[in-house]
Amino acid sequence: MSTAAASRAAASPLFTPQLVRLLLSAVGSSASLYLLLSVVPLYVAGGEAGAGLATGAMMLATVVVELVAPRLIARHGYRDVLALGLLLLGAPSALLLLSPALPLVLAVCVARGAGLALVAVVGTALAAELLPADRRSEGIALYGVAAAAPAILGLPLGVWLSSTLGFDAVFLLAAGMALASLAAMPGLPREIGRGPGHGPVVAGLRGSGLVGPGLAFAATTVAAGVVVTFLPLAVSERQQGLAALALFAQAATAPVARWAAGRYADRHGPAGLLVPALALMALGAATLVGIADPLLALAGKLVFGAGFGAAQTATLALMLERVPAAEYARVSALWNVAYDAGWGAGAAGFGLVVGTTGYAAAFGLTALVLVGSVLASWRAGRATRTRARAGSARPAPAAA
């Protein structure tokens, strides 16, 4: 048997019963999220202003609760906090049956945002703790795929169901998907790795090694928020089919790249993935400067999606390998805050810029943000390698 074959044979099992239960909860919670993500803005009273407030309220609640989630985990344990997150995602969805009035819808969105935060932070941290060290990167990538894959069908399915069966059917389905995931809770551990690491999220970041990957990931989510929000608006009405196809290409490519990057990281380490992933995203964003060319735009979204998927795995794996297990919930919170805050900031910032510059120039500025992140990550990696070589070259102390 070859060395490579022996290594594969000795690899730890990945799909343990506990991980399977966690993956099922990720699929159910994400399905609930994405079914309503595009439907609530259509349903809420108040027109475009109401739609914007509903989405904004949900994302604000998500970021705020992500910052306190590690403390909740330290006090109540993973399983109970995850169950609370699923309950907050599911039960309030049924309240939408009562009325499209803006105050009610905003309250539901805040509750669902809090639930999303708890599910996201617990899920990533618990997956990292349940996985064997030699397959952690691949495992967290698979968890990310399970959490993201429902978007491919959930977003269009929610809109289609609301137009054919009515809003009530979608609200009940979304509630049911999250609440059904509670059935997976009894097999999950309650207390793993609880300790001082589950304290304040932003305290002690300096010198932790988490800031660089966190900022790099925030740059990727800024770009992703821009592209997903504004690509359909940047093309003419007769090119809407192209926009839909391009967004589908990104949504389908990113999970595959995320999983492949996880397998690579387990074998070679995640450090070498970050710069190429960011460079792919920068290249994909740059192609949108020529948005009028259908083939160029489609190819660009394929490249962008591949880079985004790889960047998710690379940044999370880098952050996890730099902390002890007791810090996993803190890392998960930081990573998820970077995701949600970057996504919202990218969309809001682009909206302010595009009215002055036009779409081509604004997409070009988005690519430049990613280029800056490529250079910063490359320099940080080179500095780390230089320090490592200097440390290994330092002579051993003389014997007494």
When pLDDT is cut at 50, 70 and 90, the band that residue 394 belongs to is low
34 and 63 in a common domain: yes
Q: Provide the 3-class DSSP secondary structure of residue 96.
A: coil
Average pLDDT of the chain to the nearest whole number: 83
Domain total in the chain: 2
Q: Kindly report the pTM of this predicted structure.
A: 0.79
Mean pLDDT across the stretch 216-238?
81
Is it the case that residue 204 has pLDDT exceeding 70? no
How confident is the model at residue 391, as a pLDDT? Answer: 55
* Residue 198 located in a structural domain: no
Mean pLDDT across the stretch 129-147?
88
Q: Provide the 3-class DSSP secondary structure of residue 269.
A: coil
Amino acid present at 243: A
152 and 47 in a common domain: yes
Question: pLDDT of 193-203, one tens digit each?
Answer: 544 444 556 55
234 and 135 in a common domain: no
* Residue 4 located in a structural domain: no
| Residue 196 CA neighbour count, 13 Å, CB half | 2
When pLDDT is cut at 50, 70 and 90, the band that residue 207 belongs to is low
Q: What is the b/e burial string over 12-26, where b = at least 16 CB atoms within 10 angstroms of the residue's CB?
A: eeeeeebbebbbbbb
Mean pLDDT across the stretch 310-317?
92
317 and 219 in a common domain: yes
Token code pair at residue 152: 């491919």
Token code pair at residue 337: 């805050």
Residue that finishes a domain, picked among 166, 191, 216: 191
352 and 230 in a common domain: yes
Closest CA to 225 of 356, 327, 344, 322: 344
Task: Check if the beta carbon of residue 170 is closer than 8 Å to that of residue 36.
Answer: yes
Is it the case that residue 2 has pLDDT exceeding 50? no
* Residue 201 located in a structural domain: no
* Residue 399 located in a structural domain: no
Range of the domain at 170: 12-191
| C-alpha dist (Å) from residue 45 to 127, 158, 166, 233 | 39, 18, 16, 23
Maximum Cα interatomic distance, the chain, rounded to a whole number of Å: 84
Which one is predicted more confidently, 211 or 25? Answer: 25
Residue that finishes a domain, picked among 134, 158, 191: 191
The CATH number linked to 309 is: 1.20.1250.20
Is it the case that residue 188 has pLDDT exceeding 90? no
Separation CA 400–CA 344 (nearest Å):
60
